[in-house]
Amino acid sequence: MEIPNFQSEIIFSPKHSEKRIQSAYEQWGKKNVNRIISLALFFLGGNREQISKCIDSPIGTFYSFLNRFHRIGLKALTDQRGKPAQHLIDITEETETTQSIDTAANDLEIIFGEKKQLLNIPYDKNRIVINSSNPLQFKTIILSFLNSGFLSIKEASEQLEISERHVRDITKALQLNDIKSLIDGRRGQQKDYIVTEDIKAEIIQQYTVNLVNENSTAGNTIAAQVNDKCNTSLSDRAVRQHISKLGLNKIKKSLPELLKGVKKSSKI
């Protein structure tokens, strides 16, 4: 079958194009129209990366759209997350009876250095389930998708609930220092050898004095007092951890009452 050379046989008008696209945006929605344009450009031999930039879509998202189009045809043109335009519903319903969903698998290639693994993903198993108790695993996957072009900075930012600038920082850190760079550095001191017996004693002393005098026993207050007395630089978090380990929170209510009882008995 001879295919017409559309690029050389048709005169294109930027003015008409702008007017027609704007009208289509208003009638069918920007995302739906961009899908149609991207598909047409793809058929005309356009470079996929340049097409994805032209419609302001991550390359991974564009690849996913093309895969979905090859599976389900014109139904892929509608936005499955929202209410599609009625015009597109009419088009897809006409083809639904003559076109069944292709259950053939998608191919996803994972590259690690010189290692390559091709995954054959069935149509009905196109999801990744991560336990809610594994936030680091979720963060790693989201950033990996970002690095591979499946997600944009904005989408990753929304999923991780952090700023786009922070996303860029941790993405760069992940590339340089592997997954260890994603571990929260604010976890505090993991061993007690830096917090000596003298420092622990001072934590107990400052906590007790503040408690008896009805002053603040918050971690930042105790940390400031201990650092001043012992010439240290313990973080608020580290002090809070030791207050908890030493069981000082357990006497927050009982100690003042006990001391009141001692004072009363001494007056008798």
Asked if residue 168 has pLDDT above 70, the reply is yes
> 216: which DSSP letter?
-
CA 22, CA 18: separation in Å to the nearest integer?
A: 6
- Please provide residue 51's backbone torsions phi and psi, each rounded to the nearest 5 degrees: -65, -45
Q: Nearest-CA neighbor of 121 among 82, 48, 174, 67?
A: 67
| Contact call for residues 151 and 58 (beta carbons, < 8 A) | yes
Which tokens sit at 225?
Answer: 């007092």
Ranges of each domain in the chain = 19-96, 128-182, 197-267
> 152: which DSSP letter?
-
**Number of neighbouring beta carbons within 10 Å of residue 187:** 10
pLDDT tens profile 214-238 = 888 888 899 999 988 888 888 888 8
Confidence (pLDDT) at 96? 43
Q: What percent of the chain has pLDDT over 90?
A: 4
Which residues fall within 8 angstroms of residue 180, CB to CB, at 6 or more apart? none
More confident residue, 126 or 39: 39
| Contact call for residues 119 and 62 (beta carbons, < 8 A) | no
Q: Determine which of 78-92, 125-139, 216-230 has the lowest per-residue pLDDT on average.
A: 78-92
